[in-house]
Amino acid sequence: MWQVYIKELIELLRDKKTLFFIVALPMVIFPVLFGLMGFLGAKAAVSEQEKVIRYLLVNESAAPEFASNLFYHNDFKPVKLKLETEAEIIEAIKANKLDLVIVLNKDFKTQFDNSETSVWKAYFNGANLIGGIKFKMQNALAKFNEDLQLQIFTNMGFDQAQFAAFKKPVDIEQFDTADERESFGEKIGGLIPYILIPLCLTGAMYPAIDLGAGEKERGTIETLLLTPISRFSLVIGKFLCITTTAVMTALITIFSMVFWSFIVGQLLDVKVVSEILGSVGILDYGLIVLLLIPVSAIFAATLLAISIYASSYKEAQNYMGPLSILVIFPVIVGMTPGVSLNLTWSLVPIANVSLAIKELLKGTIDYSLLIPIFASTGFFALISILFCVHWFNKESVLFR
Amino acid sequence: MISVENLTKTFAMKANKKNSLATTKDPREQGNQFHALKDVSFHCKKGEVLGLLGPNGAGKTTTLRILSTALKPDSGAIIVNDVDVVKKPKVAKQKIGFLSGKTGLYGRLTARENIEFFAKLHGVSDEFLKNDADEIYQDLDITAYLERRVEDLSTGMQQKVSIARAVIHKPEVLVLDEPTTGLDIMATETILEFVQLMREQGTAVIFSTHHLDEIALLADRVSVINQGKSCFDGTVSDFKQQASDEDLRRAFMNVLHGVN
């Protein structure tokens, strides 16, 4: 068995594709991609925030104070256009001649004096994820509304403090008992297994194809079957090798995440990131790795069984594609709000590990739940291995 | 030394395979089953070369796979030097070496790593590999490229390494399944010379082929399989005599068509 294990490992480590999936992907490619995404996202947000909105007020004379507010606001810049109908306004926005048109009600003054709500119309392109125009317009209008409310209250004989109390009769001073680690864990703890668990699958996938369907395609499986080694030992040797590569992928990913987070934290002077990562502790990092071992074992055995069944590389890849999507569902549980680790969830394979990793990062895990997690994940891994061995003993599968 | 008696083997058929055979139905197909071997028998003694002949799909590869323990027969017996291959496959595997047209080598391992990997699976000692394996490497003239990766070797070189891999555990029987198919003249020559050498060393060699010139050159005995049944097993001269023809190609055709 160990002869097979060592041989498979040497062969895999000499393969550029395997090295790409195990080392390059988590160490370089993913951090670069995430960094690039973060950089572009932040750049887009900043650019949206700094964007000066080109606007036009129709019936401007109805509310000169509001017009004046916008005119002197840094985020707004008036444009001179003559737009009379709604169709013209929409056409001008589509043609990117301006960003915002607000049509004021001509009777605003009268409505205000009669204590009636005046309805104005705003035209803008809302198909924007960040929603900068809407946000800035609402802020400007809120300020104007507040000025009007203050004017009403002043006319009624109230001072500014009374106005503030009227606006907000009850205020709450908040005391969050969650420490930074718990808050951080809750926010991104679900995301970590979402990266780690599919990476274990990816780390196992290519070696599984190579060690099963690949051997069939190259004709080496037959030579191997003619040696005195039992098929059980053969399967276990291959299975252990695939599990090793999957766990190695996870280990390298964890190392990469900690390393890059630390580097980014130092470079951008965001000490909180390195402090939080430091507070997780060696034991919890160790437990995360331990939890990933039976998950990797399930993946390794399932993928090897699929690979052995397939008669070619291509066929194996076709079968494994849907598996990648299936794995996402239990992993998403870790990111679902309101779902936390309990006895029931601890028995659901993959979902239990996803939840446990989140709890470990938050520092709120109930360590006794690790027993059912390891038991259930180990049980499913064993079933997968036995199925794999059974598959390997079938002539109709080996010589398809 | 090798006795193969009344082998039978049936495979379950898939729906798509059945459809594909619909226009040229094989008489061995019955319902959802395909009787690949119905009755195959042959014998080969120590130091003899037996050529296994038959048209494509006759059952040669299935027979050799059963002989080399990759498949189990439904019935029949295979005895290799008093060892029942079906009942004691693990013991039998120690006595059998196997080589096919595909080299069965791992491209990313070196030639030496390949040979030693299979040697260790056969229980060959480190001492033998250190002291005695060189003789095999020298016989096959592969010493110069033992440390090179197999994927970097030519087909002929790979086939020589594959031979070393097949005989490193000193098998008493060597099974070759169409070993020269797709090989160039030089590589074919290497295989044929090697078969001669093995015979001289007292190894029983069974090889399937479509090349009758190889039979003429090497074989002591001939066994012909057609549609899963043995239709001849005997010496080369008996083969020619039974077929009433000195020309091996015509003799083969006569045997297939049942002409005596």
Q: What is the pLDDT along chain A (400 residues), one digit of tens a residue?
A: 788 888 888 888 888 877 887 788 778 887 788 778 878 887 877 877 788 899 999 988 899 999 998 888 888 999 988 888 899 999 999 998 999 999 999 999 999 888 889 999 999 988 765 667 888 889 889 989 988 888 888 888 888 888 888 888 898 888 877 777 777 777 777 778 888 888 888 888 888 998 888 888 888 888 888 888 888 888 899 999 999 988 888 888 878 877 887 777 777 666 666 666 667 778 888 888 888 888 888 899 889 988 888 888 888 888 888 888 888 888 887 777 778 888 888 898 888 888 888 888 888 888 899 999 999 988 988 888 888 888 888 877 667 6
Question: Is pLDDT at B260 greater than 50 in this prediction?
Answer: no
| Domain limits for position A380 | 2-34+180-398
Question: φ, ψ for residue B226 (rounded to 5)?
Answer: -140, 130
- Same domain (yes/no): A225, A157: no
Residue type, A75: D
CATH of residue B235 = 3.40.50.300
Per-residue pLDDT tens over the stretch B154-194: 888 888 898 899 989 889 999 988 888 777 787 788 888 88
pLDDT on residue B49: 92
Q: How far apart are CA B61 and CA B67, in angstroms?
A: 10
Closest residue in A to B169 (Cα–Cα): A227
What is the 3-state secondary structure of B205-245? EEEECCCHHHHHHHCCEEEEEECCEEEEEEEHHHHHHHCCC
Q: Is residue B228 part of a domain?
A: yes
Q: How near does any CA of chain B get to the CA of A17, in Å?
A: 12
Q: Which residues of A fall below an 8 Å CB-CB distance to B?
A: 3-4, 7, 10-11, 14-15, 218-220, 222-230, 395-396, 398-399
Strand partners of residue A123: A101
Do both A84 and A159 map to the same domain? yes
Rg (CA), chain A: 31
Q: What is the pLDDT of residue A270?
A: 63
Is B137 a domain residue? Answer: no
Name the domain boundary from A167, A193, A219.
A167
In a domain, A302, yes or no: yes
Name beta bridge partners: A153: none
Question: What is residue A369's DSSP assignment?
Answer: G
Residue A371's pLDDT is what?
92
Q: What is the mean pLDDT of chain B?
A: 84
Instruction: Establish if B94 touches chain A: CB-CB under 8 angstroms.
Output: yes
Question: Helix (H, G, I), strand (E, B), or coil: what is residue B47?
Answer: coil
Q: Find the CB nearest A228 among B90, B103, B149.
A: B90
Q: Kindly list the residues from chain A whose CB atom is less than 8 angstroms away from the CB atom of residue B120.
A: 3
Query: Could you give the number of structural domains in chain A?
Result: 2
In a domain, A391, yes or no: yes
Domain extent, residue B20, equals: 2-102+166-256
* A43 found inside a domain: no
Q: Report how far apart, in Å, the C-alpha atoms of A17 and of each of A20, A141, A231, B114 are.
A: 5, 58, 27, 21
Compute the C-alpha angle A378/A384/A388, nearest 5°: 140
Side-chain half-sphere exposure of B133, counting CA atoms within 13 A? 26
pLDDT tens per residue, range B40-80: 899 888 899 999 988 888 888 889 888 888 888 999 988 98
Q: What is the CATH number of the domain that holds A60?
A: 3.40.190.10
Which long-range contacts (C-beta less than 8 Å, at least 24 apart) are formed by A38-45?
A: A44/A130, A45/A130
Helix (H) or strand (E) holding B154: none
Question: Quick one: pLDDT at residue B204?
Answer: 92
Cβ–Cβ below 8 Å for B98 and A226: yes
CB atoms within 10 A of CB B17: 12
Asked if the model's pLDDT at residue B259 lies above 70, the reply is no
Lowest mean pLDDT among A71-75, A263-267, B92-96, B237-241: A263-267
**Residue B201, domain member (yes or no):** yes
pTM greater than 0.80: no
For residue B110, pLDDT beyond 90: yes
Contacts of A223 in chain B (CB under 8 A): 98, 104-105, 118, 165
* Interchain CB distance below 8 Å, B69 and A396: no
> What's phi and psi for A168, nearest 5 deg?
-135, 85
pLDDT at B25: 67
Give the C-alpha distances (Å, rounded to integers) separating B122 from A108, B143, B241: 97, 22, 42
Contacts of B239 (CB under 8 A, 6+ apart): B222, B224, B232, B248, B251, B255
C-alpha dist (Å) from residue A219 to A165, A388, B1: 83, 20, 29
Q: Is residue A175 part of a domain?
A: no
Pair (A191, A154) in one structural domain = no
Q: Which pLDDT band, with edges at 50, 70 and 90, does B90 fall under?
A: confident
ipTM above 0.90?
no
Q: Which of B124, B192, B196 is nearest to B160 (CA)?
A: B192
B223 pairs with which residues across the strands?
B52, B233
SS (H, E, C) A260-325: HHHHHHHHCCCHHHHHHHHHHCHHHHHHHHHHHHHHHHHHHHHHHHHHHHCCCHHHHHHHHHHHHH
Report the C-alpha gap between B35 and B33 in whole angstroms: 6
Residue with tokens 């390298």: A252
Give the residue from A141, A167, A193 where a domain finishes.
A167
User: Is the domain of A95 the same as that of A200?
Assistant: no
Residue B7: per-residue pLDDT? 85
Q: Distance between CA atoms of B71 and B66, rounded to whole angstroms?
A: 5
Mean pLDDT of B4-18: 76
Question: Using the beta-carbon criterion (under 8 Å), do A396 and B121 form an inter-chain contact?
Answer: no
